[in-house]
């Protein structure tokens, strides 16, 4: 578990991920979560790089306000991060807090040399989150939009 001033950030178990998939009505998210679970099951020793992580307020309410995930650690030492927050919690700095903490944590894991993220061109808030977490624009445009990179060291 990763703890910040306002959040507990932790990976869901396989059972919890199955429950999320079962309850998800958005087909694109359901497919993404299913792919994450498949990665967990196929690569149990690399589970942390495939699981869905949740952002839980640590104010005693237990409220889940968002999630993040990593997309595998590749042979070049790169891991990709993705994230989202419930709309009612946008603009409160929680995503910046979560991404910054997740990057600090991931950077200390064996083999991690860089962390990348992709964001839609018009999603300025997401770009600000990445910049505040120490990412810089890579100059590459990915399938979703501009790519950002954070390098270890």
Range of the domain at 34: 2-151
Task: Give the domain CATH number at 128.
Answer: 3.40.630.30
Q: How many helices (H) and strands (E) does the chain have?
A: 4, 8
Domain count within the chain: 1
Q: Residue length, the chain?
A: 153
Q: What pLDDT does residue 54 have?
A: 98
pLDDT (tens place) for every residue of the chain, 153 residues total: 999 999 999 999 999 999 999 999 999 999 999 999 999 999 999 999 999 999 999 999 999 999 999 988 899 999 999 999 999 999 999 999 999 999 999 999 999 999 999 888 888 999 999 999 999 888 777 777 777 887 765
């Amino acid at each position: 578990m990763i703890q910040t001033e306002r959040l507990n950030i932790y990976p869901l178990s396989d059972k919890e991920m199955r429950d999320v998939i079962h309850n998800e009505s958005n087909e694109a998210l359901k497919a993404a979560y299913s792919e994450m679970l498949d990665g967990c099951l196929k690569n149990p020793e690399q589970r942390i790089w495939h699981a869905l992580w949740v952002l839980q307020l640590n104010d005693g309410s237990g409220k889940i306000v968002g999630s993040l995930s990593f997309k595998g650690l590749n042979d070049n030492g790169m891991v990709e991060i993705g994230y989202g927050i419930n709309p009612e919690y946008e603009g409160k700095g929680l995503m910046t807090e979560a991404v910054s903490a997740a990057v600090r944590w991931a950077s200390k894991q064996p083999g991690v040399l860089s962390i990348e993220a992709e964001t839609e061109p018009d999603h300025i808030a997401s770009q600000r989150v990445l910049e505040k977490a120490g990412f810089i624009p890579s100059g590459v445009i990915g399938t979703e939009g501009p790519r950002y990179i954070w390098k270890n060291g």
